[in-house]
Amino acid sequence: MCARCARGVITDVALDERFRGSGLGTRALSHLRARHPGTTWHSTLTLRATRDLLRRMRIPTTAPGPLCAHAA
């Protein structure tokens, strides 16, 4: 996460199988956004389960690597 550019990258979302479909992932990402208002989030995740969650939350996928010069 780069506070200077207000950009963050989500590189992993891990939920036990029993919690999938419970809304916990959505709540976790909503909490992340609430804790860092004004931050633009991106993700490097491509697995189906996480891809669907990120699509619902409108978090775009980006190529791995830094989003700004400060995070290099």
Domain boundaries, the chain: 7-71
Alpha helices in 1-72 (DSSP H): 24-35, 48-56
Give the pLDDT band of residue 72 (cuts 50, 70, 90). low
Give the DSSP H or E segment for 42.
strand 40-43
pLDDT in tens, 24-67: 989 999 999 999 999 999 898 888 778 888 888 899 888 777 66
- 67 closest CA partner among 17, 9, 15: 9
Place of tokens 């609430």: 34
- For the whole model, what pTM was predicted? 0.74
**What does the pLDDT read at residue 37?**
93
